[in-house]
Amino acid sequence: MDFRDSPAEAEFRGRLRAWLAEHNPGLPTSSTDDEYWTRQAEWHTALYDAGFFGLSWPARFGGHDLPTVFDVILDDELAAVGAPPRPSLGYLVQGITTHGSDAIKDRFLPGLISGRERWCQGFSEPDAGSDLAALRTTATRDGDEFVIDGHKVWTSYSDVADWCILLARTDPEVAKHKGLSAFAVPMDQPGIEQRPLKMINGITTEFGQVLFDGARVAAGNMIGEPGEGWRLAMTIVSHEREPGELGYVARYAKTVKEMEQAVRADPSAFRNDQREQVAWAHVQAEMLRLHVCRRLSERLDGVEHGPGGSVDKLLMTWVEQTVGTAAVTLSGSRAVLDPDDVALKVYLYSRAQSVMGGTSQIQKNIIATRILGLPTG
Amino acid sequence: MDTRDTPEQAELRRAARRLAGQLGPKTVADLDDRTRGQRLAAAVHDAGWLELRADRDAVDGGNGGPLASGVEAAILADGLAGTVADVAFAGPTLAADLARRSGAGHDPSVAFAATPDLLGVAVVEGAVTTTTLHAVDLPAEGCTAAYVLAPTDGGYRLARVPVDTAIGAHDGADLTRRIGVIPPGAAVVEVPDQRRTLTDDDLISWTALGLALTSADLVGLMRGVLDLTVAYAAERRQYGVPVGSFQAVQHLLAEAHCLMEGSISVALHASWAVDDLEPVEARAAGRVAKAYSARAARTVCETAVQVHGGIGNTWECMVHVFLRRALLSSQWFGDDGEQLRQLELKRLGTAVGLP
């Protein structure tokens, strides 16, 4: 057991640190500001072009074929200088890698990884949230194309996306999980309308809803076989649940660091309970950092990824919400007097973490039945 | 970075769990089975597990560092706690670590006396003690003295005080580890043949070991009590179905499982940090681990009592043995509140303002 860098890891860390000293864009804390989301594409391509993104993915698609523990180093160093977290799209890469044909992988993975093509994920619908398989968007075969009709919602980055990984019903005759297929749908076409969705913290550029009215997609853009959509969706959401895939560790560490600086700068302005909340947020963020180290180390064994993602998601949610609550508590009266208070936005955004990517209640169902082996009711 | 067990560590982990499973108490009544307790203590002794932190080079007082790292010691603490094994481990291990740092030979008949708040080893000025001291996790037999520290120029000398064998060791809240009593007025005698004066860094490193071992103990307790409780929830029936089929119960257990998983990650890191990070950073890693795992263990053990229902509130049910042991492991070297207070001092500076 060794938490220390190997020589190769240390060399990578040194190179990354030197690059970051010059290229930290100094974006606002993500999740609190529209500017962050607007400039995220620039950050993605800069990180990629410098050779620091897509570390564990195949070189054939623009990655670096490194063990996943290099992502821990990336997150560490981003957090240390307060840089934005790495773009969170590992789950899309995993979904396409696991289910796509070689042609699909060659066509789509390089652009996704390099950031030259932007993606969103069209899964949830107004009446299909936790019960995702109840979705009603249809894809109907028409010659060499499918015609898409339906309504997707809570779609992150839909406003800037070039492509949507869309889950749609291709066979209404079979059981609901079996009639779904996945597609790479071009977003820039007449049959698609994108509407922003304002989140409770006021952000308008992250979340959207997408209306499909006779939109078209080439049949060759189906990812996986007809009817494989549900399995692809499960691959994606189970990866989406892992903090190691998301790089959020850096985001939490950044917020904790900012809170600590605020208290150190003016110790007389804070009560003991506020100090304790900051210390507890540090403990939580450290826990997640170390937990990700452990999880990614386990992958060196090739341990297959399974329902453990639900454990990680729940831990991550607790961390995010502990950090968010500490931030708003520390901010005190400012948070209620100023609608643009960053801590207020961090706090409000944190409430989404127990919903997105599967609610905490769904995660607990999965843990209870699939990890603990408890009987279903 | 690779946080996985080495093959040797994995084997040690299996051995600890195997032994704890074979000889640990399976029922509350087993705690009174002296023969079983003696076999357990003998097995732990014979395996050499109480000497992990003794000097690896016993010649000339030694200077070769410990026989095994904090990781191995924590693996054993975790394994033994998994079945609430009623055998002294952390106490003798920490006493051996103190003796090694002083360069005095390892003497298994000496435990260590804690400060009254149990945060560390007692420091005694003068020839006799003035308050009642306690030696936590005293071996069941053969332990007649405890280490204390005597301040000297530039550090501390190791001294010993007699444990009052007439009073005898007793159970505190924890029914699985014994507490030895050192009444006021005990004579303080310097340990002979010390080769080094203990420095502040020695004490900080030693505290890091204490935090790592108590955190590992809490992790083992969580694993053990959750195994029992999940099995019970799957078997106990109400309304004609297993209570573990109700979401209300499932969600409690799922949360408890996550708290245990998070605790494993911080406790592993703390155990590695003992010998691989600078003393101050190792202790900080221990504080993070202890703060997290002490809070987690309290919740997990309380959940276990709750899921066991009325049965969980009877003396004969094993879950309170886990909860009681968690209370001691939390308090020993400081509970979550204490760790947060210390982390605040380190990271936020001294509080000067609002109460």
A368 interfacial to chain B (CB closer than 8 Å): yes
Q: Find, in chain B, the residue whose alpha carbon is nearest to that of A278.
A: B344
Which residue reads 């919400």 in tokens?
A321
Strands A163-169 and B178-182: unpaired
A315 interfacial to chain B (CB closer than 8 Å): yes
Per-residue confidence band for A41, with pLDDT thresholds at 50, 70 and 90 = confident
Contact residues, B window 263-282, toward A, CB-based 8 Å cutoff:
264-266, 268-269, 272-273, 276
What average pLDDT does range A273-292 have in this prediction?
Answer: 96
Q: Comparing A89 with B235, which gets the higher pLDDT?
A: B235
What is the rounded end-to-end Cα distance, in angstroms, of chain A? 41
Yes or no, beta carbons of A297 and B347 under 8 Å apart: no
A10 interfacial to chain B (CB closer than 8 Å): no
Contact residues, B window 94-153, toward A, CB-based 8 Å cutoff:
none
Q: Which of A9, A276, A375 sits opposite B344 (nearest CB)?
A: A276
B246 interfacial to chain A (CB closer than 8 Å): yes
pLDDT per position as a tens digit, A146-190: 999 999 999 988 888 999 999 999 999 999 999 999 999 999 999
Give bridge partners of residue A338 from the DSSP assignment: none
* pLDDT the model gives residue A303: 61
Q: Residue A225's CB: how many other CB atoms inside 10 A?
A: 13
Per-residue confidence band for A29, with pLDDT thresholds at 50, 70 and 90 = low
Q: Which of A279, A311, A371 sits opposite B343 (nearest CB)?
A: A279
- How many Cα atoms are found within 13 Å in the side-chain-facing hemisphere of A35? 7
Buried b vs exposed e over A310-341: b needs ≥16 C-beta within 10 Å? bbbbbbbbbbbbbbbbbbbbbbeeebeeeeeb
What average pLDDT does range A128-147 have in this prediction?
Answer: 96
pLDDT per position as a tens digit, A292-348: 999 888 877 766 667 888 999 999 999 999 999 999 999 999 999 998 899 999 999
| Residue A274 C-alpha, separation from nearest chain B C-alpha, in angstroms | 10
Contact residues, A window 89-108, toward B, CB-based 8 Å cutoff:
none
- Cα separation, A3 vs A6, in Å, equals 9
Contact residues, B window 313-342, toward A, CB-based 8 Å cutoff:
337, 339-341
List own/partner pairs for A271-274 with CB under 8 A and 24 or more apart.
A271/B354, A271/B355, A272/B351, A272/B354, A272/B355, A273/A329, A274/A329, A274/A330, A274/A332
Query: Could you say which residues of chain B have pLDDT below 70?
Result: 58-63, 351-355
pTM listed for this prediction: 0.94
Q: Which of B9, B230, B347 sits opposite A260 (nearest CB)?
A: B347
* pLDDT the model gives residue B353: 55
pLDDT per position as a tens digit, A356-371: 888 999 999 999 999 9
Strands A222-223 and A180-186: antiparallel
- pLDDT score of A33 more than 90: no
| Chain B CB contacts of A376 below 8 Å | 245
Q: Find, in chain A, the residue whose alpha carbon is nearest to that of B273.
A: A3
Contact residues, B window 46-105, toward A, CB-based 8 Å cutoff:
71
Cβ–Cβ < 8 Å for A57, A235:
no
Q: Which DSSP letter does residue B254 get? A: H
Domains of chain A, first to last: 7-96 (1.10.540), 119-227 (2.40.110.10), 236-371 (1.20.140.10)
Yes or no, beta carbons of B250 and A374 under 8 Å apart: yes
B5 interfacial to chain A (CB closer than 8 Å): yes
Cβ–Cβ < 8 Å for A247, A85:
yes
B253 interfacial to chain A (CB closer than 8 Å): yes
Question: Which secondary structure element, helix H or strand E, spans residue B273, and what is its range?
Answer: helix B247-276
- pLDDT score of A349 more than 60: yes
ipTM score of the complex? 0.95
Yes or no, beta carbons of A279 and B258 under 8 Å apart: no
* pLDDT the model gives residue A305: 65
* pLDDT the model gives residue A284: 98
Yes or no, beta carbons of A69 and B2 under 8 Å apart: yes
| Residue A310 C-alpha, separation from nearest chain B C-alpha, in angstroms | 9
* pLDDT the model gives residue A229: 97
A234 interfacial to chain B (CB closer than 8 Å): no
Yes or no, beta carbons of A300 and B2 under 8 Å apart: yes
According to the per-residue pLDDT averaged within each range, which of A34-43, A225-234, B158-167 is highest? A225-234
Q: Which of A278, A286, A377 sits opposite B266 (nearest CB)?
A: A286
| Chain A CB contacts of B347 below 8 Å | 260, 278-279, 282
| Residue B109 C-alpha, separation from nearest chain A C-alpha, in angstroms | 32
Contact residues, A window 346-365, toward B, CB-based 8 Å cutoff:
361, 363-365
Yes or no, beta carbons of B242 and A294 under 8 Å apart: no
* pLDDT the model gives residue B352: 61
For testing the chain A interface, which of B258, B268, B340 should be mutated: the one with the most A CBs within 10 Å?
A: B258
Q: Which residues of A are catalytic?
A: 240
B10 interfacial to chain A (CB closer than 8 Å): no
| Chain A CB contacts of B350 below 8 Å | 267
| Residue B9 C-alpha, separation from nearest chain A C-alpha, in angstroms | 8
* pLDDT the model gives residue A172: 95
What is the rounded end-to-end Cα distance, in angstroms, of chain B? 42
Yes or no, beta carbons of B255 and A374 under 8 Å apart: no
Q: Comparing A206 with A19, which gets the higher pLDDT?
A: A19
DSSP A207-271: EEEEEEEEEEEEGGGEESSTT-HHHHHHHHHHHHT-HHHHTHHHHHHHHHHHHHHHHHH-GGG--
Q: Find, in chain A, the residue whose alpha carbon is nearest to that of B253.
A: A368
| Chain A CB contacts of B272 below 8 Å | 1-3
- pLDDT score of A85 more than 90: no
What average pLDDT does range A31-58 have in this prediction?
Answer: 87
For testing the chain A interface, which of B2, B243, B257 should be mutated: the one with the most A CBs within 10 Å?
A: B2
Question: Which secondary structure element, helix H or strand E, spans residue B180, and what is its range?
Answer: strand B178-182
Buried b vs exposed e over A93-104: b needs ≥16 C-beta within 10 Å? bbbbeebbeeeb
What average pLDDT does range A83-91 have in this prediction?
Answer: 85
CATH topology of domain B201-348: Butyryl-CoA Dehydrogenase, subunit A; domain 3 (1.20.140)
| Chain A CB contacts of B262 below 8 Å | 287-288, 291, 315
Yes or no, beta carbons of B258 and A294 under 8 Å apart: no
B306 interfacial to chain A (CB closer than 8 Å): no
B291 interfacial to chain A (CB closer than 8 Å): yes
B13 interfacial to chain A (CB closer than 8 Å): no
3-state secondary structure of A75: helix
| Chain A CB contacts of B223 below 8 Å | none
B248 interfacial to chain A (CB closer than 8 Å): no
Yes or no, beta carbons of A282 and B347 under 8 Å apart: yes
Q: Which DSSP letter does residue B184 get? A: T
